[in-house]
Amino acid sequence: MDSLRSKKSKISADLPEASQTSNGLDATVYSLNGKKSGTVSLPEYIFGLNWNADLVKQVADSLLSSKRKNVAHTKDRSDVRGGGKKPWRQKGTGRARHGSIRSPIWVGGGVTGGPRNEKNFERKVSKKMRTKALYTILSRKLKDGEVLFIDSIVLNEPKTMEAVKALESLSSIKGFEKLFLKKNNAAAIALSGKYKETERAFNNLGNVEIFEARNLNPLSLLEYKYLVIENPLKALAVLPGATKLNHE
């Protein structure tokens, strides 16, 4: 029992600071150079939800299915060219009777039951379900120590090297050491507004995705290990459904 407790305390010590207060959740905010710059109070309706695997899977499957590009297409016997003439007479040849050389049993004929590009794979879920799934994943990521809050991410120049230096500095924060070393799907960066130069600097990095916080979606949270939120007070205010759910 003592070994289990010590193991749990060791794990909790490795996670970034996030504490429960009477007003909600408090988290540490860092500067771009990896130093602490303050704290932020997080709303519980976003970061205090219990995990709901069924909801998350339903929303994720819907989004993935809706993104599917229906390219595969086969021709049935009505689409294949030719076959208007009966290949041979009905009787007297000793061969099986046929009415068209474009029958599915002929080589070069139509395909029976093949994929068609007019099929619609779009699956709809309500906005409330999608927003609830987004907040559920955010809550889980915060509990797992995978959400990093920074005060600003304005770079000196819109260059990839500046973005690399920024990730390297952020990886010095306890609990986010793999932010710079992880080669694939390292982090999703949510900006509080439109920063074209910052987006240009990070766009060449294949292991991160950068976008405005208002465009945050469940698939990005599930795909990338870490979530970096810039200017959290402003960014959280523009999350999908934030204002509406806050007043419910």
Cα atoms found within 13 Å of the Cα of residue 229, Cβ hemisphere only: 26
Residues 96 and 195 in one domain: no
Name the packing angle between helices 196-203 and 160-170 (round to 10°): 90
Instruction: Give the number of other CB atoms < 10 A from CB of residue 14.
Output: 11
Say whether both 95 and 127 belong to one domain.
Answer: no
CA 201 to chain centre: 21
Compute the distance between CA of residue 237 and CA of residue 213 in angstroms, rounded to an integer: 9
Q: Worst-scoring range by mean pLDDT, 20-29, 30-39, 130-139, 150-159?
A: 20-29
Same domain, 82 and 187: no
pLDDT exceeds 70 at position 244? no
Tell me which of 18-22, 102-106, 224-228 is least confident. Answer: 18-22
In terms of average pLDDT, the best of 8-17, 221-230, 237-246 is 221-230
Residues 51 and 79 in one domain: no
Q: Name the band, by pLDDT with cuts 50, 70 and 90, for residue 248.
A: very low
Both 74 and 17 in a single domain? no
217-228 burial, b at 16+ Cβ within 10 Å, e below that, comes to bbbbbbebbbbb
Same domain, 62 and 38: yes
Q: Are residues 80 and 61 in the same domain?
A: no
Percent over 90 (pLDDT), the chain: 60
Buried b (16+ CB within 10 A) or exposed e, 115-138: eeeeeeeeeebeeeebbbbbbbbb
On whether both 111 and 28 belong to a single domain, the answer is no
- Residue 179 is predicted with a pLDDT of 86
* pLDDT at site 243: 60
pLDDT (0 to 100) of residue 84: 85
Question: Tokens at residue 66, please?
Answer: 């809706």
- Give the pLDDT confidence of 55-103 residue by residue, as tens digits: 999 999 999 999 888 889 999 998 999 888 899 999 999 999 999 999 9
Q: How many domains does the chain have?
A: 2
Return the pLDDT at 14: 47
- Final residue of a domain: which of 88, 104, 120? 120
Do both 57 and 84 map to the same domain? no
- Residue 24 pLDDT grade (very low, low, confident, very high; cuts 50, 70, 90): low
pLDDT tens profile 167-222: 999 999 998 988 888 888 889 999 998 888 899 999 989 899 999 999 999 999 99
CA distances from 103 to 77, 94, 107, 123 (A): 6, 19, 9, 34
* Average pLDDT of the chain, as a whole number: 86
pLDDT value of position 196: 87
State residue 18's pLDDT score: 53
Query: What is the pLDDT, as a whole number, of residue 157?
Result: 83
The residue-averaged pLDDT of 100-114 equals 91
Mind spelling out the 3-state secondary structure of 87-149?
Answer: CCCCCCCCCCCCCCCCCCCCCCCCCCCCCCCCCCCCCCCCHHHHHHHHHHHHHHHHHCCCEEE
Range of the domain at 39: 2-68+122-246
Task: Report the DSSP beta bridge partners of residue 41.
Answer: 26
User: Torsion-angle region of residue 103: left (phi > 0), alpha (psi -120 to 50) or beta?
Assistant: beta
Q: Are residues 173 and 211 in the same domain?
A: yes
Last residue of a domain, one of 120, 136, 157: 120
Answer yes or no: do 80 and 58 share one domain: no
CATH of the domain at 26: 3.40.1370.10
Look at residue 150 in the predicted model and tell me its pLDDT. Answer: 95
Quickly state the pLDDT bin for 155 (edges 50, 70, 90).
confident
